[in-house]
Structure 1
Amino acid sequence: MRLSPDGNKIAYMVAIKRPNQSGTAIALHDLSNNKRSYLAFTDDKEYRFSDLVWANNQYLLVDVVYPQLRKGLLVNEYRLLKLNVINKKMTGTLSASFLNDLHYVPNVQSVILDLLPNEPDHFLIEIGGRMYNAEPSVVKISLKDGEREQYVQMPYEDVRGWLTDQQGNVRIATARNKDEYTIYQVPANNKSIKDFTKLWSYQAFSEDVITPLGFAKNPNILYVQAYHQGYLAVFKVDLSSNDKQLQLVQDANKRDLTGKMRYSNKIGDYVGKGNTYWHPQAKAFKQELDSALPNLRNRIISSSLDENRYVLYSTSDTNAGVYFLGDKTTGSLSKIANKYNELKPSLMAEKQKLSYQARDGLKIDAYLTLPLGDKQKNLPTVIFPHGGPISFDNDDFDYWTQFFANRGYAVFQMNFRGSYGYGYDFMHQGIQAWGQSMQDDVEDGTRWLIKQGIADPQKICIVGSSYGGYAALMGTVKTPDLYQCAISFAGISDIEKLVKSHKKFIGYEIAKKQIGEDRNQLWDNSPLKYVDKITTPILLIHGDKDRSVKIEQSEDMFQALQSADKQVNYLPLPDANHYLSNAQDRLKAFQAMEDFLRQYL
C-alpha cells in the first residue's frame, strides 16, 4: 500500500481470483469519496508488478518484472511504467528517443534514485547503456513526455550506485572493482573521476564496510552504516570536516541494526532505521502506536508529504497482517484491510524463541512452532532452514511455517552461523562454509529438538527453499539416518555450477568470495556428488523461469537420483519464478509438499 503525497489516495496491489481471471491488480482507494477502482491488471504468468510508488498526486511509478533470454543467459528484465490514476493509462517512463540513444539496452531500467519532491514533474533514475563502460549513469526524466532533461555525466566504469542529497544533487558514488568497494564524494561539476574525492575503501565481507545511507537536510551531513563493536550501527559524518570522523547515532545493543532508513520531511532529518527510532518525537509516536496495538509489530509503511496521514502495517506470528489508516490531526486509527482475509488469527500457531548450542559451543537462536492442540511432545517435525544464506528468521508471520503447523507438524527454524543480524563474527563464520559448519548447525538443532522430546526421531523431514533447499539436500548426504524425507524448492545441488553461473554477471567476484572458488572443494560440498549414498526420499520443486537459481540445479539432481534408482519426486512449475509469485504455482507446490509429507511422516 502506498499513500499519495497529498494523503487523499491509497494505491495498492491486490490478488484477484475469479472463475475466468486470476492475477494481480493495482487498485485505488480515493479517501475523499471512499470510492475504489481498478487501474491495471496482470495475470502474473509473464509480467509481474513488483513495486509501486507515487511520483506525484497524479502518477504512480510501477516496477514491472518479466523473464528474458539474453545471449543464452537467463535474466530478469525490469521496466518502470507510469500509471495515470485519473485516466488509467499506463505507458513507459522512457521515451523512444532516449532509448534509441543508448549504446545497449540494459535489462534493469527501474532504479529510482530520487523522486525530487521539489520538482514533482521529474525524477532521477540510474540506468546503464549511456556509455559503453559506465554502469549506471544518472538521468533526470520528465513525467510529461519521458524525455531526459539532463544527463549527470559521470564516466566511471566501476560505479555501481549513486546517492543524492535532500536537494536532489548527486553527491556519493559507490564503486566496485572485483571485491573491493570505494566510496567517493562527487564534485559539483560531475565531470571527471579525477575530481571525485575518495572517502573510504574496503573489501567485501570485511569489518571495514561503510555503506552510505542518506543525507540530512544539511547537505554536509551523511548517514552511513558501519560496524560498532562488531555489530552494524548507524553513524553520521560531516563531509565538510577534515577528518571525516564517524559519530555514532544508534546501535542495537549487541545486534545488527537492520531495516530501511526513515526520513521525516517534517523534522528534516533521519529519525530511525527499521523499527528503531532515535529522534525523540518519532520515538514517542512509535511508542503511542505500540501502546494502541500491543502484541503486534507495527510499521509505518507510507505517509503523506506533510506526514499527517500514514498507512500502518501490523503483524505478528499469529496475525497474517492488517493495514490501518492513521491520521495525526484527529488522532484516529482505522482499519483498511487484512493482508490475507481468510487466515484468521485463531488458525495460527505461536512461534517460541529458543536457543541451543552448536557442537563448538556457539549459541544458535531458533524458532519453534507447535501445531494447535494439546500434544507438545514426540511430534512429526519439519526442520526448516532459511534461504539466503545471509538472511534470518524471526517471529513474524510466514505462510510456509503456518501451513506446516496447520497440517499438524512442529516446525523448527534456526539462524545458523552466517545468518544476518548477529554481528560480523557470526556472519563471517558462514563465508565459504556451505555444507560444513552451517550444515552442522542445522544437524545440531535437529538433534537438540529430539533430545528435548519434541520431535519424533522417526518422523522428521528437512524442508527448504533456495539455500534452504541446498541444506535439505545436503542433510540427506551428511546425516542419512536423521531425516525420513527431504523437500527442496529451488534448491542448489551443485555449488560449483552455481558459482560458475555468475561468471558473465557483475557479481561474479562477490559470489566467489562468499561461496568459494576452489572447484574441488565446491564439488566436495555439492549434494549432486553423493547421489549414490542418498537413501532418503526426496521431493524436488522448481520453476522454469527462476532467474536466481537455474532449474538445471533440480533437473540434474532428479536425473541423477532417478538413474541411481532412488526415491525421488520432481515437480517442475512452468513459468514459475524463484518466489512463487503466482498464486496457482503456490497452490501446486504446497499441495505437492502436503502429499509428500503425509506419505513419509
Structure 2
Amino acid sequence: MKGCISVVLALLFSVVNAAELPVEAFASAPTIDMLKLSPDGTKLSMIQTVDTEKEQLVLVKLFDLETGKQKFLVKADSRELTIYSVIWANNKQLLMKANYASHRQGTPVTETRLMVIDTETGKNRSVVRGQLQRKLVRTPQFQSNIVALMPEDEEHFLLALDGFNYGVGTSVVKISLDGAMSEIVAHSRENLIDWVADRQHKPRIAIFRDDVQFQIKEKKPNSKDFRLLWQFEALSEETIWPIGFDEDPNLLYVSAYHNGKKAIFKVDLAKDKPELELIKANPDYDVPADISYSWQDKKIIAIGEDYIDPKYQAFQKAVDDALPDADNYIVSMSHDQNRYVVLTSSATNAGAYLLGDRKAKAMQFLLPKFSQLEPELMAAKQKIQYKARDGLTIEGYLTTPKGYQQGSLPTIVFPHGGPISFDNDGFDYWTQFFANRGYAVLQMNFRGSYGYGFDFMQMGLQGWGLQMQDDVEDGTRWLIEQGIAVPGNICIVGASYGGYAALMGAVKTPDLYQCVVSFAGVTDVEALVKSQRNFTNYEIVKKQIGDNFDLLEQRSPLTHAEKIQVPVLLIHGTKDRSVPVKQSTAMFRALKSKKKSVEYIELEDGDHYLSTNSHRLETFKVMDRFLKSHLQLPVQQIAVN
C-alpha cells in the first residue's frame, strides 16, 4: 500500500510542477511591443528585446507588410538606455523617445532625448542639433516633449524645449525633420513649464508653476500677450488641467472636479469669462483626463475611455464582437483609416497584437506580448471590497491560483506603489507569477489611491505609515476572516511605495506577516523628501509627503529596524532615479546591525522599473526562492482506494 501511495504522490506532484511555469515566462520583458503603422499602412515599427549571455539589447525593428522583409534600425544596451516610445513622423522617418540615468551637478537625474530615424538608411540623430543646439545656453534635461505632430505637414513637428536662457522657462520650437533650420514659435517665460497647441498647431495654452502654485494662461493668437484663465494650488480641488482642443481653436477640453470626482469639461475661450461646461462625469470614480482627436474627421471622437462619434462606436463594437471578453484598443491606424493595429488583453491575457483591414473586414493575429503566458494558464482577478477600521470602503482585487475552489492558501499581500496610483482588473505579471506559484494575492486601493475622487486622494496626503498603512493591515485581516488566508502563512510584498508599506507592515504588526519583500522600497521618508531639494517639484513633494522631519523619521522603517521580527528581502537597482539605492542599503545595514534575518540583492545599473531582462529575471528568481522558503503550500489531500 505504501508503495502505491508513493507512486500516486509522485504522479500528483509532477502534474503540479508541470503547471508551474518557468520564471522566465513572467520575468522576461515583452518580446515585441509598441507596434505602430506607418501613415501609408505599409510598414510596422516595433520595439524588440533580445537577451543573450553577452548582450542585453533593446531594438527598434521595422517590418514591411508588402514584402515581408524586416530589419533592425536601432540597437541599444537596455541597461544604459530605455526606449519608451516610437512614432511615425512620416512614411520614411520615425521619432524615438528614450531616457537614461545621468548626473547634474552631482545630483542623480533622468535625461530624455528624441531621435529621428531614417527607415531607409537606418541612420539616426538627435533632433536637438546644429543651429538649434548652438542657440541653447544650457543643455535641456528633457528633450522629448512633443507638443504636436502635423499630419498635413509631415516635414515638421512642435517640440517643447527649455535652455534658451538661464532662467527657467519652456519655449516651443518648430523642428524641421530634414535637419534644416528650426524656428522658435512660442518664447519662454519665467516659470513656464509646458504648452498645449490647438489643432491648427499654434501654441495656445501655457502652464506656469511657481512652487506649488499653478497658473493656466491663454496665449492670444498672433500676439505675445497672455490671459490668465485659472490659478490653483497643486493637489487642490480647484485644479483645472487642460487636455486638448477641438477643431474650433476656441474650444478647449479640461479635467476638473465635479461633485468631488474628476470630470471632463469644455470651455469656450472666445468668451470674456470662460465657463466650464460639463461633458463627462462619473458619480463613483474619476474620469480619465483623456480625449482623442481625428485629424481626418476634424473633430473629437473619444472622451475619457469611450468613443462619442457613432462611426467609431460602430467600429469599436465590430472589433469587440470579433474579440469578445477582452479589452481591445486601437493602438495605431493608417492615414486612410483602413489598416489598423489592435492590442487585445484581459485579466488573464497578457496582450496580443492583431492587424486589421477594414475594407477586407478581416483581422489577422500578429504576435503575443508574452509568448509563454497562455491565457488558459492564467488566474482571473476578483474585485472585492472591505471596510477599513474607520468604516471607509476600500476596493481591491483578489487573485487565487488557477483551479482554486475553497479553503486557505499561502497568501501575498501586495500593496501598489505611487502611492497616488491604483490597481485595476487588467493583466499584472507580478500577480500572475505569484498565483502561478500557488499563492493567493490581495491588492488594495488604500486611501490616497488615484481614481476615487478628491476626498479619497486627500486622505493619503502626508499619511505615510498612518491610515494608509491601516488600510493594508485591515485588508489582510479581512482576508483571514474570509478563510482564504491564515496567520503564519502570509507574506507582504511591494515595490516603491509598496515596498515601504511592506516594511512598515512588519514594523507595525510584527506577528501578522511571515516575511517581507521590498523592491526599490522607501525606508527613510525624511531622506526621500530631502533628496528632492535640488528639484523644482520639492514644494509639491513636501505637500504630498510632509515636511515635519521629526514625524517622517518616526514613520520610516529604518528608524524601527529592531521591531522587525521576520525575514526581509531587499532588492534595488543602482541607477534608480526615483528611490535612491541608498534607501535599501541603509535598511540592510540597520537590520544586520540588529542581527535580523535580511538578504540584499543589488541590481547593477538597474532602474526603478526593472527595464532590463536580466534584472527582472534575477528579481523574480530570488523572490521565488525566498517566498517558497517562508510560505507553506497546502498539503495535497489524496484519496487512495
1:498 maps to 528
1:48 maps to 82
CA shift for structure 1 position 408:
1.0
Following TM superposition, by how much is the alpha carbon of 1:238 offset from its aligned partner in structure 2, in angstroms? 0.8
Letter in 2 for 1:570: Y
Aligned counterpart, 1:166: 199
Question: For the pair shown, which has the larger CA radius of gyration, 1 or 2?
Answer: 2
Query: 1:527 corresponds to which letter in structure 2?
Result: P
In 2: Cα distance, 1:597 partner to 1:324 partner: 37
Which of 500, 505, 510 aligns to 2:540? It is 510
Residue 355 of structure 1: aligned partner: 385
| Superposed counterparts of 1:23-172, under 5 Å | 23-145=57-179, 147-148=181-182, 150-172=183-205
Q: Alpha-carbon deviations, 1:486-540, whole Å to 9, x = none? A: 0000000011111111111011111011111111111121111111221121100
Q: Residue in 2 aligned with 1:178?
A: 211
Amino acid corresponding to residue 73 of structure 1 in structure 2: T
Deviation string 1:123-155 (CA, Å, 9 cap, x unpaired) is: 11111111111322111111111531x113434
One-letter code of the match for 1:39?
L
Give the SS at the match of 1:458.
coil
Q: Secondary structure at the match of 2:498?
A: helix
Deviations 1:469-492 (A, max 9, x none): 010011011111100100000000
Q: Which has the higher contact order (CA 8 A, sep 6+)?
A: 2
Cα distance change, pair 366–38 in 1 and its aligned pair in 2 (3 A): same
CA distance in 1, matches of 2:486, 2:303: 42
TM superposition score normalised by structure 1: 0.97
CA deviations over 1:94-137 (Å, ceiling 9, x no partner): 22332232111121111111112222111111111111113221
Structure 1 window deviating more from structure 2 (365-374 vs 485-494): it is 365-374
CA distance in 1, matches of 2:42, 2:583: 48
**In the alignment, which residue of structure 2 is the partner of 1:10?**
44
Report the Cα distance in structure 1 between the residues aligned to 2:527 and 2:175, rounded to whole angstroms.
40
Letter in 2 for 1:24: V
Deviation at 1:274, TM superposition (A): 4.7
State which of 308, 321, 336 in structure 2 corresponds to 1:291: 321
Q: Residue 186 of structure 2 contacts residue 203 of structure 2 at CA under 8 Å; is this kept in 1? A: no
Aligned to 1:426: 456
Q: How far apart are the structure 1 equivalents of 2:278 and 2:342?
A: 29
CA contact (8 A) 1:95 1:147 kept: no
2:487 match: secondary structure? strand
Distance (Å, rounded) in 2 between the aligned partners of 1:137 and 1:40: 29
Question: Comparing 15-24 with 422-431, which one deviates more in the overlay?
Answer: 15-24
Alignment length, in residue pairs?
Answer: 597
Which residue does the alignment assign to 2:606? 576
2:428 maps to a residue whose letter is: D
> Deviations 1:549-572 (Å, cap 9, x if unpaired)?
100110111111111111110001
**What percent identity do the matched residue pairs reach?**
48
* Pairing 1:599–2:629 present: yes
Shift of 1:18: 4.3
Deviation at 1:415, TM superposition (A): 0.6
TM-superposed deviation, 1:445: 0.2
Q: 1:190 to 1:566 in 2, by over 3 A?
A: farther
Question: In 2, Cα distance between the equivalents of 1:267 and 1:434?
Answer: 47
Point out the more displaced range, 35-44 or 173-182.
Answer: 35-44
Quick one: structure 1 residues 153 and 290, their matched pair in 2 at CA, closer, same or farther if it must change by over 3 Å?
A: closer
**Aligned residues of 1:265 and 1:305 also touching (Cα < 8 A):** no
Question: In structure 2, how many angstroms separate the alpha carbons of the residues matched to 1:19 and 1:528?
Answer: 37
- Give me the TM-score of the superposition, normalised by structure 2: 0.91
Q: Distance in 1 between matches of 2:432 and 2:343?
A: 19
Decide whether aligned partners of structure 1 residues 190 and 3 sit closer, same or farther in structure 2, where only a CA change above 3 A counts. Answer: farther
> How far apart, in 2, do the equivalents of 1:457 and 1:598 lie?
16
In the alignment, is residue 252 of structure 1 matched against residue 282 of structure 2?
yes
User: Is 1:316 paired with 2:346?
Assistant: yes
**1:61 Cα shift?**
0.6
Q: Contact 1:225–1:232 at 8 Å: present in 2 too?
A: yes
Residues 190/234 of structure 1: CA separation in 2 closer, same or farther (3 Å cut): same
CA contact (8 A) 2:114 2:127 kept: yes
1:183-198 mapped onto 2 (5 Å cutoff): 183-189=216-222, 191=224, 195-198=225-228
Unaligned runs of 5+ residues in structure 1 are: none
Q: Distance in 1 between matches of 2:579 and 2:492?
A: 19
The amino acid across from 1:600 in the alignment is H
Partner of 1:144: helix, strand, or coil?
coil
- Contact 1:93–1:146, Cα closer than 8 Å, also in 2: no
Match of 1:449 among 479, 482, 497: 479
Contact 1:255-1:421 within 8 A present in 2 as well: yes
2: CA distance, partners of 1:580 / 1:559: 24
- Cross-structure match for 2:585: 555
In 2, Cα distance between the equivalents of 1:583 and 1:240?
52
Residue 56 of structure 2 contacts residue 79 of structure 2 at CA under 8 Å; is this kept in 1?
A: no
Matched, 1:469 2:502: no
What's the secondary structure of 1:127's corresponding residue? strand
In structure 2, do the counterparts of structure 1 residues 8 and 433 end up closer, same or farther at CA, with 3 Å as the change threshold? same
Determine the C-alpha separation between the residues in 2 that align with 1:198 and 1:374: 58
Structure 2 CA distance for aligned equivalents of residues 282 and 234 of structure 1: 20
Q: Is the 8 A contact 2:170 2:187 kept in 1?
A: no
* Segment drifting more, 532-541 vs 297-306: 297-306
Residue 333 of structure 2: aligned partner: 303
Deviation at 1:451, TM superposition (A): 0.6
Larger mean Cα displacement after TM superposition, 333-342 or 138-147? 138-147
Q: For 1:439 and 1:332, locate their aligned partners in 2 and report how far apart those are by CA, in whole Å.
A: 50
Secondary structure of 2:558's partner? helix
Amino acid at match of 1:465: A
Alignment of 1:384-423 (within 5 A): 384-423=414-453
> What 5-or-longer segments of structure 2 have no aligned partner?
1-34, 632-641
Question: For residues 52 and 379 of structure 1, what CA distance do their matches in structure 2 show?
Answer: 43
Residue identity in the other structure for 1:534: I
